[in-house]
Structure 1
Amino acid sequence: MNILLITIWKPRKGGIVTRVENLIRFSKHNFSIITYEKYINLPILRAISFVVYGFFKAILMRFDIIHAHYAIPQGFLGLLLKKVKKKPLIITVHGSDILVLGKNRIAKFLVANVLKNANYIIAVSKYLKREVVNLGVEESKVKVIYAGISFSLENEKEEKGKEKRVVYIGSLVKQKGVDILLKAFKDINAELFIVGDGKERDSLEKISGKKVYFLGERKNLDKIFSKASVLVLPSREEGFGLVLLEAMSRGIPVVATRVGGIPEIINKSGLLVERENVEELRKAITLILNNRKIAKKFSYLGRKTAKKFSWRKMAHEVDCIYEALVS
């Protein structure tokens, strides 16, 4: 079976690219990809040009199913192709397409209509499924399929000396709450490594204190993970939080906010705090840095929890949807 994927793709990084990469790796079907052109920097123009370019490129291609990652513009392009090519459309929602765009009334209307006209919706967490259903989409056509993790011997965290290192990995945008982390870190005796980039970077660097290092994008995170004492995800909104699984699989204790799909991952395997609560976040990070017994407990529980999430299982569940749609 031939699947047309409409998605964010390399050289961009992040949870969506990782998910798509592993879907292609473990699925038994064949894939073609349509993605953004690199050279247009204005978001609105990029989205419009992407839909136009993608439509005329895809119209000449042969495929059995359209699978879009993100509701708009990817899902919108998928819907146009569905109507013209008469092929079923699946949309995977990842979070910001619902949680961020959904705050704009026009975008929310567009997102809701795109999702209602898809044949099937994949949500990356139970929380996102509820949000999709709240938009008026039939619950029966929304399925939760979690992300996975790749385990290897290299996933073991190296034993460190006395250095205490707090790590954040992700985009530097408002919804990720890095500003809250910087405020919480001011009274913590440790180093803070911030990995990633985004439009908030300049303003975040201005409010950062001593022992805070902005490392930008990193292709290989193994060295960062191996030296981390704790990974923090202080998000204001979060569809899933794949980086938490990546840290937990390596035995790194995690601290994150109680938002979106995060509690579904962590449950009791890490520390959850209320979003935008600087003092609670500070106390949680300090507890793990200063209490070796608690750090070891969450290291063990995190690895145990992460083993329940498999890329192979994810791909198999998606394959089942593909096959059901064309049977």
Structure 2
Amino acid sequence: MRIGIVCYPTFGGSGVLATELGKALAQKGHQVHFITYQQPVRLNHFIPNLYYHEVQVPTYPLFDYPPYETALSSTLVDVIRNNKLQLLHVHYAIPHASAAYMAKKILEAEGIHIPVITTLHGTDITLVGRDKTYAPVVAFSINQSDAITAVSHNLRDETFKFFKIEKPIEVIHNFVDVERFNRKPIDAFRKVIAPEGERILLHASNFRKVKRVQDVVKIFHNIHKEVPSKLLFV
């Protein structure tokens, strides 16, 4: 298939998952096109069947905030039309789902039908999406998707709880490449981090405020009072 993937190109979970999914699909022989404002951080070497299209956002004195969503929609129209894409998969609803809807309607006027899958990842629903500034557009664009997925049962339930979603949401959990990430002996590493046999607590994230890193430190402090421990941030 010829598949378009829209995502944030940063170290956030939605962008990482989308990039790794696209790479895996390309390795299986599908033609995958990434559409975003800069090259995804996980897209760091050549892979056959994989393409990157940069969204150019012009700046004008009139705009305090350049209209990225409009630029993304226009780029989607061009990429879908010129590469005859058969499927568009958008990761993180804001603003990708609404941009995909706009592109889909433009292409429909030309007789081109492009199915859209929207994958919900977390804060696009539980935090940002629930803000009244975005909520109506988020709910509408999700409902206009041909298929909807969420990365956990809890996220699916939260979506139905806070938005009037009229379509089923399929849960597809985040995945791990077990050939790349497998268990290995860690005795030497453990001795460096915890030479006295302390317990090791690990927090892995992008350290944005929503990850509540300060709470992690407070929890570790309480645990360390009872059990000798070391805290590792990744």
- Superposition TM-score, scaled by structure 1 size: 0.51
Which residue is equivalent to 2:72? 54
- Secondary structure, counterpart of 2:17 in structure 1: helix
- 1:54 deviation in Å? 1.9
Q: Show the counterpart of 1:3.
A: 3
- The one-letter amino acid paired with 1:89 is V
**Amino acid paired to 2:97:** G
Match of 1:118 among 124, 145, 148: 145
Cα offset for 1:163?
4.7
Map residues 13-92 of structure 1 onto 2, 5 A cutoff: 13-27=11-25, 28=28, 29-37=30-38, 48-61=66-79, 62=83, 63-86=85-108, 87-92=114-119
Kindly state the Cα deviation for residue 123 of structure 1 after the two structures are TM-superposed: 0.8
Q: Does 1:185 align with 2:233?
A: no
Corresponding position: 1:97 with 2:124: yes
Distance 1:129 1:166 in 2: 29
Determine which of 145, 169, 173 is the counterpart of 2:208. 173
Q: What's the TM-score once normalised by structure 2's chain length?
A: 0.70
Whichever residue aligns with residue 178 of structure 1, its letter is: V
Q: Are the counterparts in 1 of residues 74 and 103 from structure 2 also a CA contact under 8 Å?
A: no
Distance 1:37 1:47, change over 3 A: farther
User: 2-side partners of 1:100 and 1:46: how far apart?
Assistant: 24
Contact 2:11/2:206 (8 A) holds in 1: no
Identity of aligned residues (%): 23
Shift of residue 74 of structure 1? 1.2
More helix per residue: 1
Question: Are 1:70 and 1:91, in contact at CA under 8 Å, matched by a contact in 2?
Answer: yes
Question: Where do 5+ consecutive residues of structure 2 fail to align?
Answer: 40-55, 58-62, 109-113
Conserved 8 A contact 2:15-2:91: no
Q: Which structure has the higher relative contact order (CA within 8 Å, separation 6+)?
A: 1
Opposite residue 21 of structure 2, the aligned amino acid is L
Higher mean C-alpha deviation, range 55-64 or range 185-194: 185-194
Q: Closer, same or farther in 2 for the Cα pair 1:53/1:172, shift >3 Å?
A: same
Contact 2:14-2:92 within 8 A present in 1 as well:
no
**Cα distance between partner residues in 2 of 1:14 and 1:104:** 20
The unaligned stretches of length 5 or more in structure 1 are 196-327
SS in 2 for 1:60: helix
1:233-248 → structure 2 map (5 Å cutoff): none
Would you identify which runs of 4 or more consecutive aligned residues in structure 1 move more than 6 Å? none
- Structure 1 residue 4 displacement after superposition: 1.4
Deviation at 1:2, TM superposition (A): 1.3
Contact 2:94-2:129 at 8 Å conserved across structures: no
Relative to structure 1, the CA distance from residue 47 to residue 68 in structure 2 (aligned partners, 3 Å threshold; closer, same or farther) is: farther
Which residue does the alignment assign to 1:156? 184
